[in-house]
Amino acid sequence: MAKPRFIYQVMIKCAPGVDAEFNKWYNEVHMPLVMKGGMMKAATRYKVTDAVKTDAATYLTACEFDDRATFEKWLASDVLAVAKADREKVMAGKDVVWTSRAFYEPVAQFGK
């Protein structure tokens, strides 16, 4: 079984009227920017469904890092600084809100 990675989770609420523009920018610009340099190993984006009633954020991004030290290096990096500056420039004034962020360390692994 592969060693589980550390996860940085980002939740985003996005108004339906800006969904298409936001997703294009996030997928084609933002994620390539934050993944530069190879510190972030992988990322998966999710969209909330109507399977259960919820007030959860529209989107969840789970970013994978090999360890805490790499994550902390990424947090202080120019890679992230450039991505944040671009986010402020492009998404300023739009109805997009980064609602929460959290960093998780593995404690158990099940299945594959």
Q: What angle do CA 26, 27, 33 make, to 5 degrees?
A: 75
Tally of domains within the chain: 1
110: in domain: no
pLDDT at 16: 85
Structure tokens at 111: 């299945």
| Domain limits for position 15 | 6-104
Question: Maximum Cα–Cα distance for the chain, whole Å?
Answer: 45
How far CA 61 is from CA of 1, 57, in Å, comes to: 24, 11
Q: Which residues pair with 102 in a beta bridge?
A: 9
d(CA 31, CA 26): 6
Rg (CA), the chain: 15
pLDDT at 111: 83
112: in domain: no
pLDDT at 2: 80
25: in domain: yes
**CATH code of 36's domain:** 3.30.70.100
pLDDT at 1: 66
Count of beta carbons in the 10 Å neighbourhood of residue 101: 12
pLDDT tens-place string over residues 1-26: 688 999 999 999 998 899 999 999 99
pLDDT at 72: 97
Which parts of the chain sit beneath pLDDT 50?
A: none
Nearest to 66 by CA among 9, 111, 2: 2
